[in-house]
Chains A and B, each alone.
Chain A
Amino acid sequence: MSEIFDIFLLEAIINGILFGGVLALLSLGLNLIFGVVDVVWICYAELVMFGMYTVYWLAGVYDINIFIAAMAAIALVSVLGWLVHVLIISPILGTAPINQLLATGGLLFFLQSVATLMFSIEFRNLGLRLPILEFSEMYFSYARLLAFGVALVGMVVVYLFLTRTYIGAAIRAISQDREIMVLMGVDAKKIYWVTAGVGGGLAGLAACLLVLQYDVHPFVGISFGPITFIICVLGGLGNMIGGFIAAFILSIIISVGGLYSEIEWGYVLAFVFFIVMMFIRPQGLLGKK
């Protein structure tokens, strides 16, 4: 009896880790933008939604090769991210932080409404049936394994970009001393543009991975947005490594918590854990001060 139970527990933990990959990817994008521009994009998950629709329409409806559809989705959401910065954030950058929250929060509802008008509220999916992998009496969905693998690769690429390139170094530096960047020959505006584009691209990549596993509808952002914010705050807002760790902690809590009853209880447990942690470490796991 207890042996079987252990296998369920192990399966839940592994599934939690697999689920955590995409969440870590999303929180990396949000943290990157916050770390550089000092603005939280409330509408980040709605960009993911548009990415999911792109893959759905191109691959699911027009039968275009799924890899090309994925590339197109990443490119489109990347441009969308850049537009969010240039059109919405940039004009109000120097003003009170509440303005940026309100603006990107308003954009969230705008994007949901646009999606409803364009695509209706119908749930749509790719209709892909990826196999289930069985491994010593444990079951893992292939889509989830793929999503985890690709998310890890995506994060490694971003890590190399941040540590090995000049622009990456400037991205890491800019939040530490904005004013001095000009002496390094850095045009802060360009760094913001690159960051918004990369942040958008990460949302696009996450969209490609999520559309393999979930239906897409105009309000799908609700499923990933709040948990992404909570991951970022738990890890320490702007701290990319903290976000990475927090993503896996929360996804394992959700998965294991869901093992004992409904998956919703897993979320309840995760949010309770988050609230308790905020009392213990309000600055986040790896946050300073």
Chain B
Amino acid sequence: MLDLKGINAGYGSFQALFDISLTVNAGEAVSVIGPNGAGKTTLMRVISGMTAPFSGEMEMEGKSLSSFPPHQIVELGIAHVPENRRLFPGMTVEDNLKLGAFAKTARGDSAKNLEFVYELFPRMKERRSQLAGTMSGGEQQMCAIGRAIMSGPKLLLMDEPSAGLAPVVVQQVFSLVRRIREEGYTVLIVEQNVQQVLQVVDRAYLLEAGQLIDSGKSEDLLESESVRKAYMGL
């Protein structure tokens, strides 16, 4: 579904990603794991069009992403749940969700998708007239995921959905991710919470200092001595 080949990217003269190639197949859940500053967020931003890569090829279902302006990437079926959720704090939950369906390709199904989001997160239905900025972190994460679903995506990019949340809430967020997988979405998730994310995804790539150093099936990585040492402190 998503193919990256030889991506180099960064900001100004600072290069954050070096020669990244990765693939996400339809129906898969894939994770990119790595420490702080490894370039995980940059990778997400490059795929969704927020940051233009220096060089490299990106394809979504055979279409080259570089031939679309950034605001049209979402119309190809890529929805990005950004780091720190980035809701519109002064707007209601329902307005936030509605904005998720701004893309022309999403508007036709927006009523159906809204119903689906409310079914997925009944809490959001209760809070639909509440200002998004006044909700708890976990609820904001639900809203951010809901907003991404409103665009009717095929691929969900999730940037550290567990960041800044209390341990109990982190559990909830990962069960949310599992739930979304079961609904048939393809998921690419970057995380520092390695132990937990590996229990949700099929495969993972290891990103360090802007380079992919390893990849494999989740079960194998969970067993791997080096991963356990480097990422789980075991």
Q: Are B72 and A183 in contact (CB under 8 A)?
A: no
Report B187-229 residues with CB < 8 Å from chain A CB.
none
**Chain A residues in 8 Å Cβ range of B50:** 179, 182-183
A116-124, A166-174, A275-283: which lies at the interface:
A166-174
Q: Are A172 and B151 in contact (CB under 8 A)?
A: no
**Chain B residues in 8 Å Cβ range of A173:** 88, 91, 95, 99
**Chain A residues in 8 Å Cβ range of B48:** 182-183
Q: In the complex, which residue of chain A has the Cβ closest to the Cβ of B89? A: A176
Question: How far, in Å, is B42 (CB) from chain A's closest CB?
Answer: 14
A184 within 8 A of B: yes
Question: How far, in Å, is A232 (CB) from chain B's closest CB?
Answer: 18
**Chain B residues in 8 Å Cβ range of A179:** 50
Q: In the complex, which residue of chain B has the Cβ closest to the Cβ of A170? A: B102
**Chain A residues in 8 Å Cβ range of B151:** 184-185
If A169-B95, A172-B95 touch, whether A186 touches B102 (CB-CB below 8 Å) is: yes
Q: Would you give the 0/1 interface string for B138-161, flagging 1 where the beta carbon is closer than 8 Å to chain A?
A: 000000000100010000000000
Q: Name the contact of A185 in the complex, choosing from B71, B89, B90, B91 (C-beta under 8 A).
A: B71
Number of interface residues of B (CB under 8 A): 30
If A166-B107, A170-B99, A170-B102 touch, whether A186 touches B71 (CB-CB below 8 Å) is: yes
Q: Are A185 and B88 in contact (CB under 8 A)?
A: no
A153 within 8 A of B: no
Q: Would you give the 0/1 interface string for B56-98, flagging 1 where the beta carbon is closer than 8 Å to chain A?
A: 0000000000000111111100011010001011110001001
A187 within 8 A of B: yes
Q: Name the contact of B88 in the complex, choosing from A166, A176, A187 (C-beta under 8 A).
A: A176
Q: A residues touching B (Cβ–Cβ < 8 Å)?
A: 166, 169-170, 172-173, 176-177, 179-188
What are 30 A-B contacts defined by CB distance under 8 Å? A166-B99, A166-B101, A166-B107, A169-B91, A169-B98, A172-B88, A172-B95, A173-B91, A176-B88, A177-B86, A177-B88, A182-B50, A183-B48, A183-B50, A183-B74, A183-B79, A183-B80, A183-B82, A184-B74, A184-B99, A184-B102, A184-B103, A185-B72, A185-B74, A185-B75, A185-B102, A185-B103, A185-B104, A185-B106, A186-B71
Known contacts A173-B95, A187-B69; 9 further A-B pairs (Cβ under 8 A):
A169-B102, A180-B82, A184-B99, A184-B103, A185-B71, A185-B74, A185-B102, A185-B106, A188-B71
What 3 pairs across the A-B complex have the smallest Cβ distances? Answer: A185-B103, A185-B74, A176-B88
